[in-house]
Structure 1
Amino acid sequence: MDTGSVTSSEEESELEPMIREQRVLLDSLERIMNKMTNETRQGFMPIINHCNESKIFMQHLTKEGYGYKDDLPAHLQEEWKRYREELKVLNTIKVPRHWRHVASEHNAADVLSRGMTASKFAEHAMWFYGPMFLHGSSSTWPAPFIATNEELIIMNPPKVSQPSVMTITKEEDIIYTIQHNNSFNKLLRVIAYMMRFRRKKKYISHTIEFEEIMEARKIVFRNIQNIDFKDDIKHLKRQRETLKGSSINSLSPFLDQNGILRVGGRLEAANISFDSKHPILLPYNDPVVKMILVQIHKDNMHCGPQALLTTSRQQFWILKGKTMARSTVKACVKCTKAKPKLMEQIMGNLPPLRVTQARPFFNSGVDYCGPFKIHYKVRGKKPSTAYIAIFCCFATKAVHLELVSDLTTEAFLAALRRFIARRGKCQVLHCDNATNFVGAKNKLQELQEAIFSDNAKTQILQECNNKEFNLNSFHLVHHTSEDYGKLQ
């Protein structure tokens, strides 16, 4: 089959004149080489020699050091003519084509690709000897596969160019269109890569650096604030104050050197970070702000709403932050699963004195509270310490208060006399053993010595006998008792 001319008649007419400049020669050589390379891909091996000669000719041009528009010497022009004459031989080359289709059942390459056991593979003749029809005459070979135009279109569908359309939106809306999978860190990385693309600068490492992450944070905060606090920022730039009636007036906002809106205040002299002195102002119920709270919540071991709000305010001041912190913890799946159920304690039965009808303060309990400082109007006199004895009725829950000057036995007996004189005699009087003074060791020692010593008990019981009390009416409730310290 004829391969066709390497150079057409039009090309020969263009290349026929004397070539004097390297620019013209290289242009002609490039067109010839393109033609020869395409033919070589189709199996025309003799053209390889001419390709090599053309490369050698180009190396001569480089070695001589001629410029792109310099005139060529006579010997190079003669060598070019000789090379053009040899190219005419390529027009007479005919290469037969022997392309045949081999069905899958006769393809030896499919033996291993489709899998086979070792015993069958050792006896497989096609793998070792090839298809059987190759051992016979060519007349017995399968007919060549000739596809129609419709089949060629189906096998090789034309490529349809699909134009790429890019929608330009507002700069403030870009961060809300990024696919970040609800991760604030991923959002920052995506924006950092976008800034790399915008700068058109070559980076050695694909890893995002710390400075790029910080720059991405500034971009995110500026965009969020430009959406929700747009009017306040404009007014702040013009008149250095926010709009009247704005919801952020009480926060004394200002713009820092990066154009980020921050909370003012009086902590300028505090020895804390700048973010803690002037937190970044963020709006309520913003999707990115929610991601920030979720990240802080996870970084602090799924802390509660109050801890989340306190931690977030070290960097950010979120409007209605308490509400957003509460909703963030409530929406956390792990916190919901790990939240324990509060057990309701079943209260025990009430003691008989609590359910027996009696007059007020017939069955009572007593306890101390204090100490309290008593200040005198007399100039120069130091304030004294006093306590309050609380008498509580078990039946009616009525309360009687008596002022006690100190923790001595006499002071308690005087308070008891005043109580009896006002409320009447008690059948039973309970005391909690004074263990509420455990935290103040010195006071506890005074109370124990003053009230619960043997001498004090003797005096108290003697006073009860004089007032016609039952000797066993004054009870000291043990601290392990079920009714200890409780009125119930």
Structure 2
Amino acid sequence: MQLSTISIPRYVNVQSSAICQIHGFSDASIRAYGCCIYIRSQTASGIKCMLLTAKSRVAPLKTKSLPRLELSAAHLLSKLWSRVAPMLNRHFEKITFWTDSEIVLHWIKTHPSSLQTFVANRVSEIQELTDKVHWRHVPTKQNPADQVSRGCNVDELNNSIWFGGPQFLLEDPALWPINTHFQLSPEDEALEKKKNAFTLISTTEKNPILDLIEKFSSHRKLLRVVAYLLRWIRRPKMPTEGRDLTSNELHLSFLKIVQVIQHSEFANEIQKLTKGTTLPATLQKLNPFLHEYSDMSLSFKLIRVGGRLLNAPLPYDAKFPLLLYRNSHFVSTYLRFLHFRNHYAGAKALVALLRERIWLINAREACSRTVRNCTHCFHYKPKLQTQIMGNLPSERLRALRPFLICGVDFCGPIYTTLKIRGRPPVKTYIAVFVCFTSKAVHLELVSDLSTNTFIFALKRFIGRRGIPQKIYSDNATNFVGADRKLRELKEAFLAQSTEVKEFAAEEGFSFTFIPPRAPHFGGLWEAAVKSAKHLVVRALGNALLTAEELSTVLAEVEAILNSRPLAPLSQDPNDGEALTPAHLLIGCPLRALPPAQVPTDIIRCCERWQLVCYLKQQFWQQ
């Protein structure tokens, strides 16, 4: 029979002259917990101990830790004594409660405010109910409350210490278990401790330029504001300058902004580079180094991407671009500035232009996001249809000089103004020449679709690019079903194709039309027309320009088209700048900044020509 509740006599006869003490015991197990109270009386005839009362409870269904159950047993003992004490109209010499849990004794001596809610509530009530009670530790084998927590049958109960209490109560108090100070482990001591959350707020002095970067969405305005700040800082050491900013001041402003961002984003990396330690693998492969740049009263310490292009005849910024992350607000504004400045260039061209000054980690994604988020580009984004293309002609697979074999097509009309009151805008067209070998583009503005106008444009093309061997052109059959303007272009061009052939024969080259109803034969110049219109239309919008202004825009568009990479860009800084059609035309990108000192001697010119020849060879080997 398992013991759960114990019946005890309610009245205990004790001699009035006896010295009485109260001893309470508590214990717990995973199944139950309980307590019992004994009266120890000492008379002339000897010491006697008897059970006064006891109480037990079943452990809750929700599993609790054993230390919490031990605390619940001590709490039960305290409440039981608070109910029994008023019924005993007697003075007790000493009241002692015993438990075999060292953790419970530690909690009872602890202030409840440092404990968790469950333990704190019970500890505070125990301390209140047992204010004059002395708590002590008892070994488990000498704890009679162990019978309550574990349960026993009748035979075990009769042969136990349950009714008479532990043996040490019948002995002298000097022989009782010693109540030493137990040294708890750090884990037990931290058990049920209230976990305090602290918030550490560190205030550091923020660079004012970082605040300026976040406030401005215009890259040009940000450069000018920082340039004026630097001018004000340098005013004691520099002579008074004019009101307008110089290119050198804007360059210093750009470097200062990059320095502030690098010291904010690469603080640990700068310390490691200063000490000469190794950086993480993602940055170490770029071979970064610290570059100290000084200009009169200003000095900058910048992180640049290293490489093996020290002796290359390139600008210093292109050989060793500045290192930045792509998540900076300054990088976003700078990419939007490059995108707008270069007539809304595409992602690949934007990467090539960016690496002329800055090496951006994961630049392709940042440039693609800039183009994708451009509202102006979104309005002009066409829905493309895929189709199976034919084989490339042999003329596109041979290494020849630029524009020796080329194609031509028209795009337009584009309206230009004469700036004469009462005269409406006139239609103008663009003749697009594209090289079969290098994909270089040449743009010519023509005033109408007459034979003489096109021949004049052809003469201007020959005068600057040389006499071609063969020129391919669309025979205008792909204009069927287009709008009225394209039908006018078809009729005018077909009506005058004979005269164009005669002019070509006199100049010594052939003018060949592709087969009818075969637009895939002219895919190269159709793509060039699309790219040219992509830049011209988005740059001009609804603006009306004069012929001279439109010619200037076409020259800039031609430079952008000829600065596009011919092959995918490499992530290795040792590979140098991207190969573009401009390298095959003039030896460098048309949109790149010139070096600080332009080489004038013959040796430098020869070295530059050798580099162009090497780039040509690498391009045709791909």
- After TM superposition, the score normalised by the length of structure 2 is 0.28
Larger relative contact order, structure 1 or 2 (CA cutoff 8 Å, min sep 6): 2
User: Which protein is richer in strand relative to its size?
Assistant: 2
